[in-house]
Amino acid sequence: MAKLTDYLPSFEEQNILVLGDMIADEFIIGQPERLSREAPVLILRHTGHKILPGGGTNAANNVAALDGQVYLAGVIGDDIVGEKLVNNLKADGMITDGLIVDNSRPTSVKTRILAGGGQTVKQQMVRVDKLETHDISKEIEDKLISYVEEVITEIDALILSDYGNGVFTDRIKAEVVAIANKHNKIIAVDSRYELMSFKGITIATPNKEETEKAVGFKLKSANDIEKAGWKLKKALGSKAMLVTLGGEGMQVFTDNGTTHIPASNYTEVFDVTGAGDTVIATLTLALASGAGMVEAMKISNYAAGIVVKKSGVATTNREELAEIIGDAQ
């Protein structure tokens, strides 16, 4: 029987198209100096600024960190934030030809202002979101669909990363899934608000809250989880459904039945931010590398167990993953 680590060397041979809502995570960092005379607020002396990949680009970042080749497709604005985000993605080796500039909307950006001294943990004081959620135009749809058609024979799997920012119109969902299925590609979906609208996919990875919203009832027991998983799999016509349950682990539903596994390293959780992106990235790479659904779930569970021990939106790599998996099957 194959060990889980046997699939990791093949990660670097996989080409993954990440299509979805591209979001820049902007961090403005300052050191507290005094209270303002204008209002009861702190005055911060600016000490740092960075733009990191968020939304769909964080899923892509996780694939790249595990040595998969990333193709990106989505929408950015004609602005400095979008330009910096694309430059960062290119620097990490991602192929950004499918990022379409839409002059009618800004690049989606979540700006966090952090405060703290040089040797202290930085605390988030406020977050400002600059997001457009209206549907993309037919012209942008045409460009994205053309790009998917152009690269579909070069890729091994698609990740559809839906944060509700307007990329996934009915047409985009229907045509992209149809193109991928025509070429027998793996289609993995992470949808925050519209999971039930993705039909004919390979697998989706909703968390507990997203599952409850999709099925319309709370997951209070193991029986509820089973009922929800099968309901989602049937409704989406998917080959499998992976429900992530935080500290309660993960459960996958396939044509062969259902398997539940406990969370990896849950006693050492520091920060769960971005763990869902790690799960779908690792799961997709594992499936593309020939792992079965249960094996892929186990590998992604180990990956999530690594990133939740790290601060902020984190990634893992194949070396860390191999070490934590060990000889597990």
Active site residues: 277
Q: How far is CA 33 from CA 15, 113, 128, 129, in A?
A: 48, 15, 22, 25
Please give the biggest Cα pair distance in the chain.
69
Per-residue DSSP letter, 38: S
- Spatial CA neighbour of 192 closest among 216, 211, 170, 215: 211
DSSP label at 93?
Answer: T
Burial 46-69 (b: 16+ CB within 10 A, else e): eeeeebbbbbbbbbbbbbbbbbbb
Q: In sequence order, which residues have a C-beta less than 8 Å from that of residue 162 and are 6 or more positions away?
A: 20, 21, 168, 189, 190, 191, 192, 193, 194, 198
Who's near 36: CB < 8 A, 6+ residues apart? Answer: 42, 43
**Bridge partner list, 54:** 23
> What's the chain's length in residues?
329
Cα 308–chain centre separation? 14
What's the CA gap between 85 and 54, in Å, rounded? 10
The CA R_g of the chain, rounded to the nearest whole Å, is 20
Two structure tokens written together for 308: 């939740």
Question: Measuring CA to CA, how many Å separate 177 from each of 145, 173, 236, 255, 309?
Answer: 10, 6, 12, 20, 35
Q: What is each CA distance from 189 to 19, 81, 126, 236, in whole angstroms?
A: 10, 26, 30, 11
